[in-house]
Structure 1
Amino acid sequence: MIKKVQFTRFKQFDQSTFTFTPSNVTFLAGGNNSGKSSILHGLAIWEFCKIASLMERGEDAFLAVAEGRQGFGLGDDEFSPVNVPSLKHLWTNLKTAKGESDPDGYTLKIRCDWEYSGEEKHLEFALSLANDRLFIKPTSSNLDAADRVPTTALLPPFAGIAAREARIVGALRRRRIGEGLAGAVLRNLLLEMYQVNLKEREKLRQGRSKIADNDLIRLRESDPWELLQDALRKTFSAELVMGEFREEYHSYINVQVSKGDVKGYKLTRWPKYNPRDLMVEGSGFLQWLSVFTLATAEDVDVLLLDEPDAHLHPTLQAQMVDQLEQLASQTGKQVLLATHSTEILRSVSHERIFQVRKQGAGYLQKDGQRVGLLAGIGSDYAPRLDRVRKTKRVFFIEGSSDIPILRKFASILGIAWNDAWIPWQTTAPHKERAHIFKAISEEIGGLVAYSLRDRDDEAIESVGDLLEEKGYRAPPGFNARKWRRRYIEGYLINPRAIAEAAGMPEEEVASRLRDDFAYAIGSTFQNSAAPTAILDMRAKEVLSAFKVSAHEVAACFKPEEVCEDIVTILQQLDSGAG
């Protein structure tokens, strides 16, 4: 398994090192453009350099004895691991020329470290670009002829499947996958796997009519085709049916899907069900199939999955992760899985989540860091965070109507609204909001947060005199507040204001409040310590009954009608809350 990857002038990584733990599956997470895919692409290019070196220079091409040899050149049309507009896009800031500190033109470097037979091994390739030709050479290696070098394989999100797929050679298959068209070679991969299985079955049969039970058990537990079929039966109640393919006769590869009832290793086709071509299956099925076709391949040690959750239902995402972990453990493979899926990142232990960000990368040390990650902190494109960086104020609110209502009340009361507060809407409790606050604080010094939550069904006694949440120890700079009433709409059930907003007599509103909802609104309505019936009222249902919005009612309030709690919140926000 690969333990460390070092990049020099590769894409956004001018000088970067990433260290991975030997767990079977590592989940790469981070904001858009943080570098998750670039790490996978770098490993795919390292693999390409390894294969190209073998083809061009022979078996000792990247052994320790090869250091110091001259590199070899390839045309840009021969570069296949990833799809780029031009090869100069592999270099940081598109700068391919050597600098004063560079001894030659080999300015881009990718190094991998791993352990083999208890010893630390490494292999580094350097790349140079001249006249649209890519030059490759090994620049550091401690490998001997007997050492095993990991084999990596990149799989981007599924795309490119067509009605007909011809037999194609390995180089072209790698190019199609590098172009993001894994679907264009899926039938080829399945055919090779199937043919290997047929040969192994024939070998085990040894001229007999059937394979011995012990041999069949071992085959089913280790053979890639058997493992894939078993996973398909368990997940989709389906099997693949390979059509006959002879190189000298058939032009296209035929793969169909059969579905039915599963019992153990046997699938009984549903009555009147006709197998159908692989192409007509849903995108989720095809995405899953492409992942597990590569995952079961015997010649792959390190599987690089770029958003394999694309097209998958959340339930199937969880199943895919479970099956991948089981398969990786069973076969000894290493999986680096880049994902944006909140379902996946919530379900796996934080120790296996590798966060990639500009400030550095590494495994999460605490489960609380997961909250900031899921909130998108660390993303290059984060307009909300850009605003927070300028103001150093973040306002956590629960509903989309909270701020418009508060702004309206501020205008009515003549209290200045502090635009420095950048809204961050979330239904999470204060504890999780504090995790987000801490994560942002790592990037933005001097940050202050104001967190305002609905009380909902929680006890009234949990709210203090200044609307602070009792019993919660907030971190420095984090102001935790909670409405004394069930939610902000509870401060709007004013018969006169509702009447004005609804265009109906005040007496009719008061009568309906009393008769339909058992609410008698008196002079204590504006007090913070209002009667329990007022504090617990389900005000959203009331406003809905009168067919008025919360903002419309708030706009009709007079200064003397605004509750003391509203005034408290607005004054705290106006002061900057810290």
Structure 2
Amino acid sequence: MIKRVQFTRFKQFSQASFDFNPSSVTFLAGGNNSGKSSILHGLAVWEFCKIASLMERGEDAFLAVAEGRQGFGLGDDEFSPINLPSLKHLWTNLRTAKGETDPDGYTLKIRCEWDDQTEEKHLEFALSLANDRLFIKPISSNLQAGDRVPSVALLPPFAGISAREARIVGALRRRRIGEGLAGAILRNLLLDMHQANLRERERLRGDRSKISDSDLKRLRETDPWELLQDALRRTFSAELIIGDFREEYHSYINVQVAKGDVEGYKLTRWPKYNPKDLMVEGSGFLQWLSVFTLATADDVDVLLLDEPDAHLHPTLQAQMVEQLEALARRKNKQVFLATHSSEILKTVDHQKIFQVRKSGAGYLQEDHQKVGLLAGIGSDYAPKLDRVRKTKKILFIEGSSDLSTLKKFAEVLGMDWNEDWVPWYSTSSHRDRSHVFRAIVDEVPGVTAYSLRDRDDEILATIGPNLEEKGFKSPPNFTARKWRRRYIEGYLIYPRALAEAANMPIEDVVAMLRDDYGIAIGETFRNAIAPTAILDMRAKEVIKKLNVSAAEVASCFRPDEVCEDITSVLKELNSYAE
């Protein structure tokens, strides 16, 4: 398992080191352009350097004895691991020239470290660019003859499948993946696995008429093709059918998909169902298939998945992660999975999430950091946090309508609205909001938060005399308040204000409230402890029926008509903002 990766002048990493846990799956998360994909690309380039060194210089090309040897050159058309406009884009800020600390011109470096049983191993490559020719050489290694070096494979989001796929060799396969066209080699990978399975079945059968039960059981539990087919049956009620392929006769690889009812390892096709070509399956099926084809392959130790959740339904995303983790443990593989999917991140253990940021990277230490990550906290593109850094005040509120309504009430009461409150829209509970708040405090110490939410269908007994939520213990500098009425619109159902906002006679409004909602509004309307019918009424329906906005109604109130709860919240907001 790779435990450390170091980059020098690679893409946005002028100098960076990343330490990874030996867990089977690491989830790389972070904002756009944070470096998630660059970590995967760097590992893919390291793998390319390893293969190129082996091909150019032989078996001892990157052993410890190779240190000090001259590098070798490749044309830009031979570089295949990732797709780039030019090789200069491998270098930070496109600067390939050597500096004072780079006497030999090898300015880009990628180093991997891993554990090999009882000893830590490392292999580092350096790259140089001259006249569009890429030079590679190993500059540090403690490998000895017989040491096993991890095999790494990159899989970008699925694309590139076509109706006809010819047999292609390893170098061209790597180029297709590097170009982001993993679909263009999917049939090749499936054919390799299928043919290997047939050879193993023939070996196990020997001179007998069939494979023994014990051998068949072991084959189904370990063979890549068997594992892939089993996962397909359980996930999609489907199997793959690989057509005969003889290189001296066939030009293209034929792969079809059959579907039906599954019982154990057997699939019975649905009546009158005709298998279809792989290409016509949905993008989610093909994305899933490409991931698990690589995940089951025996010749891959470290799998790099760049947004494998693309095209997948949220339910299938969670299932894919569960299957990947089980498969990685069974096959002793390491998986790096870069994702933006909240469906994936919210279900996995926070200790498996590796947050990548320009200011640093590492595994999440506490669960509340996962909540913050999902809310976009920690992203390098978070303008809302920029305001919080200046004002140190956050107002958690359900929506922009609630905010504009409060501002109108403040205007009616002659109160100033402090614009230092940065609105953070959320319909979550106070508890979930407090997790977000803790994540924000990790970024911006000294922040004060005021959290205001609707009661909705919760019982009135959950609210204390000062609108506090009973049973909820707020963290320091976090004030939690919940409206006594079902929602803020409940404080707007005052006939005179409604009539003025809707430009209709007050008698018509009174009649509507009485006849349609069974509500009669009296002098107790503005009291904190109002009649139950007022506290529980579905006021949003009234506002909607009158075709007016909540803020328009609030602006029509007079100071002596504003409810006590509204006044107390506004006073409290002003006191915290001082």
Place the TM-score, normalised by the shorter chain, in its bin: over 0.9
Q: Is the 8 A contact 1:31 1:377 kept in 2?
A: no
Aligned partner of 2:347 in structure 1 is 347
Question: CA separation in 2, counterparts of 1:146 and 1:117?
Answer: 13
Counterpart residue number, 1:524 = 524
Q: CA deviation at 1:576?
A: 4.9
Partner of residue 73, structure 1: 73
**Equivalent residue number for residue 82 of structure 1:** 82
Match of 2:253 in 1: 253
Rounded to whole Å, the distance in 2 between the matches of 1:531 and 1:374 is 40
* Counterpart Cα distance in 1 of 2:534 and 2:405: 19
Helix, strand or coil at the partner of 2:184 = helix
Match status 1:28 vs 2:28: yes
Secondary structure in structure 2 of the residue aligned to 1:298: coil
Give the counterpart letter for 2:167 in structure 1.
R
Partner of 2:403: 403
Q: Which residue of 2 aligns with 1:424?
A: 424
Matched, 1:377 2:410: no
CA contact (8 A) 2:67 2:141 kept: yes
| Residue identity matched to 1:360 | G
Q: Secondary structure of the residue that 1:22 maps to in structure 2?
A: coil
Name the CA distance, whole Å, in 1 between partners of 2:534 and 2:276. 63
Q: 380-389 or 167-176, which moves further after superposition?
A: 380-389
For residue 215 of structure 1, what is the aligned residue in structure 2?
215
The 2-side partners of 1:84 and 1:385 are apart by 33
CA distance in 1 between counterparts of 2:291 and 2:392 reads 43
1:514-534 C-alpha deviation (Å, 9 max, x unpaired): 333232211222233333332
Question: How far off is 1:225 after superposition?
Answer: 0.9
SS of the aligned residue for 2:481 comes to strand
User: 1:479 aligns to what?
Assistant: 479
Flag the 1:231–1:498 CA change in 2: closer, same or farther, 3 A: same
Question: What CA RMSD, in Å, does the superposition of the two structures yield over aligned residues?
Answer: 1.8
Superposed CA deviations along residues 180-238 of structure 1, whole A, max 9, x for unmatched, are 11011111111111111121122222243322222222211111111111111111111
Q: How far, CA to CA, are the matches of 1:110 and 1:149 in structure 2?
A: 15
Shift of 1:87: 1.7
Q: Which residue of 2 aligns with 1:97?
A: 97
In structure 2, runs of 5+ residues without a counterpart are none
Does the aligned pair in 2 maintain the 1:484–1:535 contact within 8 Å? yes
SS in 2 for 1:442: helix
Structure 2 CA distance for aligned equivalents of residues 393 and 217 of structure 1? 62
1:367 Cα deviation after fit? 1.4
Taking the aligned partners of 1:102 and 1:393, their CA distance within structure 2 comes to 48
Q: Which amino acid aligns with 2:485?
A: R
Alignment of 1:233-248 (within 5 A): 233-248=233-248
Equivalent in the alignment of 1:47:
47
Kept in 2, the 8 Å contact 1:358–1:378? The answer is no
Contact 1:306 1:339 in 2 (8 A): yes
Mean Cα deviation higher: 363-372 or 277-286: 363-372
Equivalent residue number for residue 304 of structure 2: 304
Shift of residue 557 of structure 1?
Answer: 2.0
The number of residue pairs the alignment matches comes to 578
SS at match of 1:368: helix
Task: Name the residue aligned to 2:560.
Answer: 560
Match of 1:262 in 2: 262
Counterpart CA distance in 2 for 1:99 and 1:471 is 62
CA distance in 2, matches of 1:99, 1:482: 61
| Correspondence 1:152 to 2:136 | no
Q: What are the superposed Cα offsets for residues 462-504 of structure 1, whole Å, 9 maximum, x if unpaired?
A: 4455544455433333232222222110110011111223333
Equivalence map 1:130-279=2 (5 Å): 130-279=130-279
The TM-score normalised by the length of structure 2 is 0.96
Cα distance between partner residues in 1 of 2:120 and 2:441: 38
* Deviation of the 1:174 alpha carbon: 0.5
Instruction: Give the superposition deviation at 1:564.
Output: 2.6
1:344 counterpart SS class:
helix
| Aligned residue in 2 for 1:110 | 110
User: How far is 1:25 from its partner?
Assistant: 1.2
C-alpha change, 1:409 and 1:20, in structure 2 (3 Å) is same
Determine the C-alpha separation between the residues in 2 that align with 1:132 and 1:184: 27
Give per-residue Cα distances to partners, 1:235-282, cap 9 Å, x unaligned.
111111111111122111111101111111111111111111100000
CA distance in 2, matches of 1:238, 1:171: 31
Q: How far is 1:177 from its partner?
A: 0.6
Q: State how far apart, in whole Å, the 1-side matches of 2:105 and 2:386 are.
A: 38
SS at match of 1:180: coil
Amino acid of the structure 2 residue aligned with 1:287? Q
Q: Which moved more, 1:550-559 or 1:494-503?
A: 550-559
- 1:278-357 alignment to 2 at 5 Å? 278-357=278-357
Q: Distance in 2 between matches of 1:327 and 1:400?
A: 46
Contact 1:33-1:379 within 8 A present in 2 as well = no
Could you tell me the TM-score, scaled by structure 1's length?
0.96
The answer to whether structure 1 residue 570 and structure 2 residue 570 are counterparts is yes
Amino acid at match of 1:76: D
Alignment of 1:485-504 (within 5 A): 485-504=485-504
SS at match of 1:401: helix
Structure 1 segments, 4+ long, off by >6 Å, are: none
Distance in 1, matches of 2:471 and 2:329, equals: 44
2:443 partner SS? coil
- Checking the alignment, whether the CA contact within 8 Å between 2:368 and 2:439 is kept in structure 1 is no
Partner of 1:515: 515
1:113-124 paired onto structure 2 within 5 Å: 113-124=113-124
The separation in 2 between residues aligned to 1:265 and 1:462, in whole angstroms, is: 53
Post-superposition Cα deviations, 1:34-84, rounded to whole Å, max 9, x if no partner, equal 211111111111111100110111111111111111111111111111112
Deviations 1:310-345 (A, max 9, x none): 100111111111111111111111111111111111
Is the Cα contact below 8 Å between 1:127 and 1:136 reproduced in 2? yes
Letter of the 2:13 counterpart: F
Q: State the identity %.
A: 77
Say whether the 8 Å CA contact 1:479–1:577 is kept in structure 2. no
| Structure 2 CA distance for partners of 1:528 and 1:323, relative to 1, 3 Å | same
User: Quick check: 1:34–1:378 contact (8 Å CA) kept in 2?
Assistant: no
Query: Could you tell me how far 1:575 is from its partner in structure 2?
Result: 4.6
- 2-structure distance, mates of 1:514, 1:211: 81
* Secondary structure of residue in 1 paired with 2:17: strand
Q: Is the 8 A contact 2:420 2:577 kept in 1?
A: no
Q: Which residue in 1 is equivalent to 2:38?
A: 38
Counterparts of 1:331 and 1:362, CA distance in 2: 26
Q: For residues 136 and 417 of structure 1, do their structure 2 counterparts lie closer, same or farther at Cα, with a shift above 3 Å needed?
A: same
Q: Is the 8 A contact 1:469 1:480 kept in 2?
A: yes
What whole-Å deviation, never above 9, does each CA across 1:150-175 have from its counterpart, x for those lacking one? 10101011011111111111101101
In structure 1, what is the Cα distance between the partners aligned to 2:526 and 2:366? 44
